[in-house]
Amino acid sequence: MNNRNQQQLQSQTRRWALGGAFVLLLPNLFPGLLTPLGRAYPSLFSEWNAPRPMHLELMNGALQQQTSGEQESELWSPLPDQGWKRCADSHAKSSLPKKSQGYIQVFLDGGLNQQRMGICDAVAVAKILNATLVLPHFEVNPVWQDSSSFTDIFDADHFIDALKNEVSVVKDLPSQHSWSTREYYATGIRATRIKTAPMHAPATWYLENVLPVMQSYGIAAIAPFSHRLAFDNLPSEIQQLRCKVNFEALVFVPHIRMLAETLINRLRYAPSGDRAVGVSNWEERLDDKRRAGKYVVLHLRFDKDMAAHSACDFGGGKAEKLALGKYRQVLWQGRVLNSQFTDEELRIQGRCPLTPEEIGLLLAALGFNNSTTLYLASHKVYGGEARISTLKKLFPYMEDKKSLSSAEERAKVDGKSSLLAAVDYYVGMQSDIFVSASPGNMHNALVGHRTYNNLKTIRPNMVLLGKLFLNKTLEWSDFQQAVKNGHKNRQGQLRLRKEKQSIYTYPIPDCMCQA
């Protein structure tokens, strides 16, 4: 090899080395470029490569559709009486025992709705053990870093008063037990801590394992506690008590309810055709209350965790697949069951979360149109504004907390995921129709609560929709008819709870009585 060729080879080698070094430095120089950002945020790649519409022909059909007055009337009509009514207070109330066996503490992780279910279970366990319940402690959420406590979210006085005839509840431990804190249990093995509670444990487990500890020390602390009480084979009074806690005792603090009521008022009374005006003009707009409007709450659960864990294709191309694959590796070390299936197989099984575009097409097929007021209940959507743009095309009157309120009005809740979720929960409970894009704790909690109040709630048929969206030659009229047929009995019709199903999602027959 002559000197010239050697020089060229050395020069090329140096360029390769520099290029490799630059690639290795990229994650440090631009952490959002090749690695996943925080769980609530899209990767920078997905922002640069805006996801293309995956169902362009269906979108065109949806944008051109017309909804008749008769169809709208049927769509918005409330549910008829379905033969069941609340019965939480119709049974004889059990009296509060004269002497408590001791104090029960529980430490709850997860988000707002997982903690809500944990609170209900904690009250039930306190009743089973004849114990005094200390207001549950909320762990700091590792994802959102929200340190909100029970009293930051729920009205503690109302909670205690609503349960005073069933269970004794206190805000704080008496001085002789003040040592029993989260910090105390974090620094060593403690005889008063119960950390072996199995998932969905029966009542007998608590009587055999927790009661002796409480009788010996006067207190028992259970951590972890989420999903630690069975849904079956419990006395009816315990089941009804869980229902009472969930549907009556748990009330949000006044400032959350006030903010939510403000949003609801603006959703219902915003003059049509003037909703694009800034928040600063809300007072002037509210002077023109033409008529009480109706609104749909859409819980759009499409965060990066869900997108990555599903292992589905969401139209973002190779860059998105690479980013989500890397994210799966970081979070779950690649141990994701769905990864062994193709996108087509996952969609046929109904295991792909609906994208904003797909949930918009579902709503349009059901008869909602561009005059529908849509409230978006969600945190950050994976893909950001680019991902939501197709949904906005279908529903230009789409609102959320930020569009309906000022920063000053949100000052007490901004940056606190549990409080923001509480606002969405309240707005969702007051909506004419609620629909959730994918199952989850928020979906389960609101489906159950709205069933208790006999309110219309649309449950997407994921298997049907997965198959329909795979058919790229399907015309709008055929898609629309298939969607309507597949959702006739998925709009709030009552369903009896089956064995092992959650009482909080399926409150019949445990929480309700036949009229």
Indicate the average pLDDT of the chain: 86
In this prediction, residues 129-143 reach a mean pLDDT of 91
For residue 4, name the pLDDT band (cuts at 50, 70, 90): low
* Residues 227, 119 contacting (CB under 8 angstroms): no
CA atoms of 137 and 151, how far apart (whole Å): 10
Is the pLDDT at 463 greater than 70? The verdict is yes
Q: Look at residue 93 in the predicted model and tell me its pLDDT.
A: 57
Q: How far is CA 81 from CA 260, 428, 454, 487, in A?
A: 28, 21, 8, 19
Q: Can you state the percent helix, strand and coil of the chain, rounding each to 5?
A: 50, 10, 45
Q: Are residues 374 and 300 in the same domain?
A: yes
CA atoms of 313 and 324, how far apart (whole Å): 10
Domain membership flag for residue 114: yes
CA atoms of 268 and 270, how far apart (whole Å): 6
Beta strands in 318-421 (DSSP E): 373-377, 398-399
For residue 32, name the pLDDT band (cuts at 50, 70, 90): very low
Contacts of 5 (CB under 8 A, 6+ apart): none
Is the pLDDT at 190 greater than 70? The verdict is yes
Q: Are residues 73 and 203 in the same domain?
A: no
Q: Look at residue 41 in the predicted model and tell me its pLDDT.
A: 42
Q: Look at residue 457 in the predicted model and tell me its pLDDT.
A: 96
Beta strands in 131-204 (DSSP E): 132-134, 137-138, 169-170, 193-194
CA atoms of 168 and 115, how far apart (whole Å): 20
DSSP reduced 3-state for 10: helix
Is the pLDDT at 17 greater than 90? The verdict is no
Q: Are residues 109 and 62 in the same domain?
A: no
Q: Which of 217, 249, 281 is the last residue of a domain?
A: 249
Strands 512-514 and 84-86: antiparallel
Global confidence as pTM: 0.86
Q: Are residues 235 and 265 in the same domain?
A: no
CA atoms of 61 and 477, how far apart (whole Å): 8
CA atoms of 459 and 493, how far apart (whole Å): 10
Longest dimension (CA), the chain: 101
CA atoms of 513 and 267, how far apart (whole Å): 34
Per-residue pLDDT of 278-311, as tens digits, reads 454 555 544 443 335 899 999 988 888 888 889 9
Domain membership flag for residue 372: yes
The DSSP code for 383 is T
In this prediction, residues 316-335 reach a mean pLDDT of 86
In this prediction, residues 43-67 reach a mean pLDDT of 76
In this prediction, residues 185-199 reach a mean pLDDT of 95
**Angle, vertex CA 136, rays to CA 215 and CA 451, nearest 5:** 115
Domain membership flag for residue 339: yes
Q: Look at residue 10 in the predicted model and tell me its pLDDT.
A: 54
Q: Which domain holds residue 73?
A: 56-82+254-270+292-514
Q: Are residues 171 and 260 in the same domain?
A: no
Q: Are residues 145 and 223 in the same domain?
A: yes
Q: Are residues 244 and 262 in the same domain?
A: no
The pair of three-digit structure tokens given for residue 219, joined into one six-digit string: 């207190």
Q: Which of 249, 278, 302 is the last residue of a domain?
A: 249
| Least confident window among 215-224, 319-328, 412-421, 487-496 | 319-328
Q: Look at residue 337 in the predicted model and tell me its pLDDT.
A: 84
Is the pLDDT at 38 greater than 50? The verdict is no
Is the pLDDT at 476 greater than 60? The verdict is yes
Is the pLDDT at 313 greater than 80? The verdict is yes
In this prediction, residues 48-56 reach a mean pLDDT of 74
Per-residue pLDDT of 89-110, as tens digits, reads 544 456 787 789 999 999 999 9
The number of domains in the chain is: 2
In this prediction, residues 419-435 reach a mean pLDDT of 97
Is the pLDDT at 373 greater than 70? The verdict is yes
Domain membership flag for residue 49: no
Please state, as a whole number, how many other Cβ atoms lie within 10 Å of the Cβ of residue 421: 24
In this prediction, residues 214-229 reach a mean pLDDT of 96
The region that residue 159 occupies, defined by phi over 0 for left and psi between -120 and 50 for alpha, beta otherwise, is alpha
For residue 68, name the pLDDT band (cuts at 50, 70, 90): confident
Q: Are residues 236 and 262 in the same domain?
A: no
Q: Are residues 128 and 201 in the same domain?
A: yes
Q: Are residues 339 and 367 in the same domain?
A: yes
Q: Look at residue 92 in the predicted model and tell me its pLDDT.
A: 46
Q: Are residues 403 and 498 in the same domain?
A: yes
DSSP reduced 3-state for 117: helix
Per-residue pLDDT of 349-359, as tens digits, reads 999 999 999 99
Q: Are residues 481 and 366 in the same domain?
A: yes
373 bridge partner residues: 295
Domain membership flag for residue 19: no
Which helix (DSSP H) or strand (DSSP E) does residue 221 occupy? strand 219-222
Q: Look at residue 384 in the predicted model and tell me its pLDDT.
A: 85
- Provide Rg for the chain, Cα atoms: 26
Q: Which of 182, 215, 249 is the last residue of a domain?
A: 249
Domain membership flag for residue 159: yes
* Residues 194, 222 contacting (CB under 8 angstroms): yes
Domain membership flag for residue 161: yes
Domain membership flag for residue 28: no
295 bridge partner residues: 373
DSSP structure string for 240-255: HHHHHIIIII--B-HH
DSSP structure string for 499-515: TT--TTT--TTTTEEE-
CA atoms of 128 and 146, how far apart (whole Å): 31
In this prediction, residues 145-172 reach a mean pLDDT of 96
Percent with pLDDT over 70 in the chain? 84
| Least confident window among 21-30, 143-152, 201-210 | 21-30
